[in-house]
Amino acid sequence: MAQKTLLKGRVLSFTGSPFEGEPTEAVKISGAVLVEDDRISAVGDAESLRANNPEANVVDHGQNVIMAGFVDAHVHYPQTAMIASWGKRLIDWLNTYTFPEEMKFGDPAYAGEIANRYLDLTAAHGTTTMCSFCTIHPESVDAFFTAAQKRNQRVVAGKTCMDRNAPEGLRDTAQTGFDQSQKLLENWHGIDRLSYAITPRFSPTSTPEQLEAMGALWADYPHCLMQTHLSEQTDEIAWVRELFPEARDYLDTYEKFGLLGSNGLYGHVIHLEARERDRLREVDAALIHCPTSNTFIGSGLFDMAGLMRDGHRVGLATDTGGGSSFSMLRTMAAAYEIGQLRGAPLHAAQLLWLSTVGSARSLRMDDCIGNVAPGMEADLIVLDLASTPAIAQREACAENLWEAIFPTIMMGDDRAITEVWIAGQRVSN
C-alpha cells in the first residue's frame, strides 16, 4: 500500500516561464501537495485532497511556502573544505587552493568524508539535486555517487579530466581519461537516480588529444551530459588563445573536437563573442550562471537578460567552492545584484524559476524534477518567510506574496529551510 503524505501550505508551482510575459502569470499557488511514495500525485485544494485521501498523513505548514527543491547546475564538491579562500584570480586560485585540495581525493576515505559533508550542507540549504565536477581520481566519483545513492538523491557527476597545466598528481592522459570515464559511466549512469557527465575541466588543462578523446566518448554516449567551463575570465580567454592559436574563439576549442552539443553544460559564459552566442543557441546548449563565483573571483557580469531574450537555456549554480556559498538563496541574491548592475533586475519569480525549473531544464531533467506537479519526483522544500528577525519585520509589511518572498531571497540562509524532502522522504528540517 502506498504511503501518502499531504503537505499543506502555500504550494508554489510554475505553469510556464516567468521570462515570457509578466513573471507572476507563470506561477500558480495551491493549498496542498499530495506525496505518494516517492512522487507527487496531486496538487490542489487542501480540503478536497484531504477528503479524497483520508488515510494520508497531514503536515500543516501554515503560511510557509512549499516548492520544488533547489537544483544546482554547476558545483565542485571536492572544493567543499576550501570554500571562501581569499583573493585570487581564477588561474592563481586554482593553483593555490583548488589543485592542492583536489590532490587528496585519491584517498577513498577522504573523498567519502567530503562527499557526505557536501550533501549534508547542501541539503540543509534546500538543494536536492546538483551537477558536480569530481577530481581526476575515479575514487572521487565513486564516493560521490555512493553517498548520493544512499540518500536516494538525484545527482549528476563526472571524473574531471586534465592532462596538462596541472600538478603531476592531478594529471591523467588522453587514454586514461577516456578509459576511466567510460568505466565510471558504465558503472553508474542510470543506476537509481544517478547520471554521469563527461567532464573535461576546460581547454587549458586538456591537450587537443584529450579533448578529442572526450569528444569521441561523448559521441559513443550522446545521451549523457557533458560539462565544462567557458569564457569565465578575460585572462583565461587570452590563455586559450595562446594554447590554441588556430581556434576561431574559445568555443571553437570544444567545437572542433566534438564537445559542442545539445547535452552540453557550459559554466560561466560571461565574455562570449557573437559567434559563440549564436552557435550555443543553434545547438541548444545549456549556459550555467554562477553569480557568487563570478563576483567572488572577479570574473564579470553575466548577460542574463540578453541570453534569455535570445532563447538560450540557462541554469543557476553556486559553483562551490569558487562560489562563496552553498546556498541557492544567496546565489539568487547575487544573480539579482548582477542583473541590477547590468540594468536588468530579476523578479523573484524569475529567480525561483532559475533555481528550480531553469536548472532542471539545463540538466534535461525538467520532466522529473524542478517543479511541483503530478507525476514529478517528490523533491520538495518548505520555506519560512520569517526565519530571522530582520526578514520577519520586512515580511510583516509585505503587500503580496512576492514582496513577502523577496526578503528571504535576499537575506535568507539555511534557517529559512524548515523541511527538505528527497524522493518522498523527509531528510532535514
DSSP state letters, 381-401: EEE-TT-SHHHHHHHTT-SSH
For the chain, what is the radius of gyration of the CA atoms?
A: 21
Residues 65 and 102 occupy one common structural domain: no
Q: Identify the pLDDT of residue 90.
A: 67
Q: Are residues 108 and 148 in the same domain?
A: yes
CB atoms within 10 A of CB 311: 9
pLDDT tens for residues 170-191?
999 999 999 999 999 999 999 9
Of 342, 362, 382, which one is at a domain's C-terminal end? Answer: 362
Looking up residue 201, the CATH number of its domain turns out to be: 3.20.20.140
| Co-location of 48 and 75 in the same domain | no
Based on the domain organization, do 169 and 91 belong to the same domain? yes
Q: 245-286, pLDDT tens digit by residue?
A: 999 999 999 999 999 999 999 999 999 999 999 999 999 999
Give the tens place of pLDDT for each residue, 186-216.
Answer: 999 999 999 999 999 999 999 999 999 999 9
Distance of CA 424 to the CA centre of its chain: 20
pLDDT at site 92:
77
Range of the domain at 18: 4-69+370-428
Contact 322, 298 (CB under 8 A): no
Split into its structural domains, the chain has a count of 2
How many Cα atoms are found within 13 Å in the side-chain-facing hemisphere of 372?
Answer: 30
pLDDT, position 429: 52
Q: For residue 248, which phi and psi values (nearest 5 degrees)?
A: -70, -35
Amino acid making up residue 422: I
Note whether 131 and 165 are same-domain residues: yes
Same domain for 404 and 353 = no
Q: 379: closest CA among 146, 44, 152, 191?
A: 152
User: Helices 208-220 and 174-188, interaxial angle, to 10°?
Assistant: 30
Cell of 322: 569558487
Residue 281 near residue 311, CB atoms below 8 Å: yes
pTM: 0.97
Q: Residue 129: what pLDDT?
A: 98
Distance, in Å, from the CA atom of 63 to the CA atom of 44, rounded to the nearest integer, reads 15
- 10-residue mean pLDDT series, the chain (429 residues): 93 98 97 98 97 97 98 96 76 78 93 97 98 98 98 98 94 98 98 98 97 98 98 96 98 98 98 98 98 92 97 97 91 98 97 98 98 98 98 97 98 98 88
Cell (9 digits) for 210 = 584529450
Same domain, 98 and 179: yes
Shared domain check, 266 and 177 = yes
Q: Please report, for residues 238, 332, 341, 384, the alpha-carbon distance to residue 49 in angstroms, rounded to integers and kept in the order given.
A: 59, 33, 45, 23
End-of-domain residue from the set 319, 342, 362: 362
For 231, phi then psi, to 5°, come to 50, 55
Cell match 588556430: residue? 246
Same-domain check for residues 245 and 358 = yes
Mark whether 133 and 10 lie in a shared domain. no
